[in-house]
A = this chain, B = another copy of it.
């Protein structure tokens, strides 16, 4: 009952990238889960407007594995039935969506288990548009984080750090996946060392990207995923509209699904500015 071609497309993609060679190591890493970050959020937060950071999600929204991941089945129609109603056949990792810890771990939190305090958080936006325009394989580095902090102060406790690579502008074109002749994609992401820094030296709960993956497109091993998610932190992929909020000072409300056992899922992201 998978959406058309989904399993086959994934297998094709993973095999091309030698992904399965890394599974053993990943299992080991996931076995050593540190305690989740528990942000303190007692202060008063103020805002004046809401900004939508969510892409519209049609059935042909671009996907990591290449094939469509959403089918909308119209079950009732107003003309005939007096109301409209659809059933969705939907891969969790489609559109602007969450990666829950269990997506890349044996027994991490599913989307429904993430504490509400981790879903309303400060958002820090790291602008790497110029670097990504020059090098589509760019990876956000610890130096990028330090540069953000030089301008804005230390990353706030319990925040989400989002990469603004300018990639959301490509969502309607092949440039969003930017696959070469061998099917290897080229888009920016977070370097595993940046993930390490945000885990060990800061108190960050969420990692966001405006691309199809927390890892850069040509990653052969999902190393940033395996570094980040098993520690009890969440990821958010295919964020839209990050140009519309400031580098510092906005609050992110993560409207992630509360479906039991979900490994993530399409989310409504709203920034309060």
Q: Taking the nearest CB of chain B, how far is it from the CB of A183, in angstroms? A: 19
Contact between chains at A1 and B119 (CB < 8 Å): no
Q: Which residue of B lies closest to A264 (CB)?
A: B85
Stretch of A16-24, A144-152, A169-177, A191-199 contacting B (4+ beta carbons < 8 Å): A16-24
| A70 surroundings in chain B (CB, below 8 A) | 259
With A50-B119, A267-B255 in contact, do A86 and B1 touch (Cβ < 8 Å)? no
Copies of this protein in the complex: 2
A 12-50 binary contact with B (CB < 8 Å = 1; else 0): 000000011011001100100000000001111111111
A41/B49 in contact, CB under 8 A: yes
Are A72 and B1 within 8 A (Cβ)? no
User: With an 8 A cutoff between CB atoms, is A133 at the interface?
Assistant: no
- Assess A50 versus B20: contact at CB under 8 Å? Given A253-B255, A267-B255: no
Number of residues on chain A facing chain B (CB within 8 A): 83
Distance of A86 Cα from B76 Cα, bound (Å): 25
Measured in the bound complex, the distance between the Cα atoms of B102 and A26 in whole Å is 45
Compute how far the CA of A78 lies from the CA of B263 in the bound complex, rounded to whole angstroms.
11
17 sampled A-B residue pairs with Cβ under 8 A: A1-B1, A26-B82, A27-B79, A41-B49, A41-B50, A43-B48, A57-B259, A57-B260, A58-B259, A58-B260, A59-B260, A70-B259, A82-B222, A87-B89, A120-B272, A253-B255, A255-B268
